[in-house]
Amino acid sequence: MIKVKAKLLRENKVLEITLDDNARVIDLIHKLGHTVEDVIVLKDELPLVEDDILEENGEYIIMPVASGG
């Protein structure tokens, strides 16, 4: 198992999430109750692809796409 930090941009909250080894960005997205179309996941200010593998203790920013405008 690995642990990552997910910073929820709109809620201004940081969650500690535990996922399987070799978990991918898409697993994190699903764990947070989203789909790949709902959010952009950033690491070090760069967007990630859903197939990228997560890093142990990595910090990920979760940016919701919807603006409701």
Report in angstroms how near the CB of residue 48 gets to other proteins at its nearest. Answer: 7
* Interaction between residue 12 and other proteins (CB under 8 A): no
Interactions with other proteins, residue window 31-60 (CB under 8 A): 35-38, 40, 46-53
Nearest to 29 by CA among 41, 42, 20: 41
For residue 21, how far is the Cα from the chain centroid? 15
Report in angstroms how near the CB of residue 15 gets to other proteins at its nearest. Answer: 20
* Interaction between residue 67 and other proteins (CB under 8 A): yes
Cβ–Cβ under 8 Å, residues 25 and 49: yes
